[in-house]
Amino acid sequence: MSPDTKPVTTRSVMEMKRSGRKIVSLTAYDALFAELLDQAGVDIVLVGDSVSTVLCAQETTLSATLEQMIYHGRIVRAGVRRALVVVDMPFLTYQVSIEDAKRNCGRVMQATGVHAVKLEGGAGMAPTVRALVDIGIPVMGHLGLTPQSVHALGGYRVQGREADEASRLISDAKALQEAGAFAIVLELMPAAVAQRVTEAVRIPTIGIGAGPHCDGQVLVLHDMLGLNEHLNTKFLKRYAQLADQVRDAVRCFGEEVRSGGYPDSAHSF
């Protein structure tokens, strides 16, 4: 197998940091998009709990449920051959007790066939991460703007601007590494802080709104494709304008149906 068709594993993701090869990650919530991402060479497909805001028009990710993430995890996994698939554990499925976390993360792994789970939180979450890793569940961490804590953080604000917050992010990242996490998402923080975190740990960091010095980058697929027009933030780059194309195509279909132009003889039996 050539390096580009060999399945991505948690080990190969960690190796990418050592070799300096940037990690490419995007979200997916269904098999169709997951297959396209996989064919385009994405390394990590993240089944984000952003599904609740992006696809379900909820204000925050707090409403995502275990059943919802299992459903999306299973269909995303069905579309992927090469990429590593990671499922976000929803709010309250891993914070209440380590026993809960083991049972719920284990259920996600068993029911979906994905390769790893992602949990939000720093040093306080380290014992949970350790317990999961000890039973064979690979864990990705998530620091900075942790959307499940949006109300406690006072909104979707850049984290780590103050010196003490930046130091805390570094110690949180080290705690997750020591607990056995294989990678950490760094969300919404100054580039210089993400660089310090990235240099402080041996495991890869994957940034979103965290500047260019992370070991990889992740974006929400529907945002970067210009399908979701509700998010306007400095870090987001839109690589396509699919919402415009969808509206144009649908209008065109409507006009042709109303005028009798569709279906014509070429599209009829």
Asked if residue 213 lies in contact with residue 201, where contact means CB atoms within 8 angstroms, the answer is no
27 binds ligand KIV (CB under 6 A): yes
User: d(Cα 2, Cα 125) in Å, to the nearest integer?
Assistant: 37
CA separation (Å) from 34 to 1, 29, 169, 253?
Answer: 21, 7, 31, 27
Q: Which is nearer to ligand KIV, 44 or 170 (CB)?
A: 44
User: d(Cα 140, Cα 16) in Å, to the nearest integer?
Assistant: 15
* Subset of 200-229 contacting ligand KIV (CB under 6 A): 208, 218, 220
Pairing of strands 205-208, 216-219: parallel
* Subset of 37-66 contacting ligand KIV (CB under 6 A): 46, 48-50
- Look at the block and give the residue holding tokens 């993701």: 13
Query: Mind telling me the catalytic residues?
Result: 187
104 binds ligand KIV (CB under 6 A): no
Closest approach of Cβ 56 to ligand KIV, in Å? 12
Q: What is the maximal distance between C-alpha atoms in the chain?
A: 70
Size of the site for ligand KIV (CB under 6 A): 10
Spell out, one character per residue from 130 to 169, where the chain touches ligand KIV: x when CB under 6 A holds, - when not.
----------------------------------------
Interface residues toward ligand KIV, by CB under 6 A: 27, 46, 48-50, 88, 185, 208, 218, 220
